[in-house]
A = this chain, B = another copy of it.
Amino acid sequence: MCGMEKPSNPSEAPEHSFGLLISMIRTELVRALEAALQEEGVDLRFTQFLALKRLALDGPMCAGELARAVDHDAGAMTRVIDQLETKGYVRRQPHEQDRRSLRIAVTDAGMATWQHMAKAHERTLERAQQALSPAERVQLMDSLERVLAALRATG
C-alpha cells in the first residue's frame, strides 16, 4: 500500500539536496568497495582499507598522523590499528625520538594484501565514475576539493 510511491513524473531527476546526495554516495561507495574487497577475498572494512592504503603509500607514521591523514578520530584509530595488527597487516613499533609516539608500519602480509586490494579499489572507482568523461572527472575532484576547503575554512 505504501510501497513505491511518487508517481509524479518519471522523467524528472530525483532532485536530491547536496547533503543527502553526498551521504548517499558515501554509503553506496563504502558498500561497493567492501563488496569488491570481499570478492577479492580481502576481509577489511572501509576504514581499515583507508588506513592500510595510507600506510602502504606513505610509509610508516605515527598513530595520530595516520588518524589525521584519513580524517579519523584518534580514539577510533587506536582500535583500527588494533584490528589491522590482529590481522597481521600492521606492526606497532616504538618511536625513536619520542617515547609517547608509535611507528605504525605495514608488514609483508599487509603489503601483499594492499596489492591485492588495489585492483578492487581501482575497479570500484572506475565503476563509480564510468558515466563521467575524463574532463568531468577532473572537474568533479577539483570542485569537491574546493567544497571541502570552504567547509574547513569558515570552520
Q: Interface residues, chain A, CB within 8 Å of chain B?
A: 1-3, 5, 13-14, 16-33, 46, 50, 53, 61-62, 64-65, 70-71, 95, 97-98, 100-101, 125, 127-132, 136, 139-141, 143-152, 154-155
Min CB distance A49 to B, Å, is: 9
Nearest Cβ on chain B to A46's Cβ, whole angstroms: 7
Partner of A150, one of B31, B128, B141: B128
Contacts of A61 in B (CB 8 A): 2, 5
- Can you offer 20 A-B residue contacts whose CB atoms are under 8 A? A1-B95, A1-B97, A2-B61, A2-B64, A2-B101, A20-B71, A21-B141, A21-B145, A22-B22, A22-B29, A22-B144, A23-B71, A24-B71, A25-B151, A27-B71, A28-B152, A32-B154, A128-B151, A129-B150, A139-B143
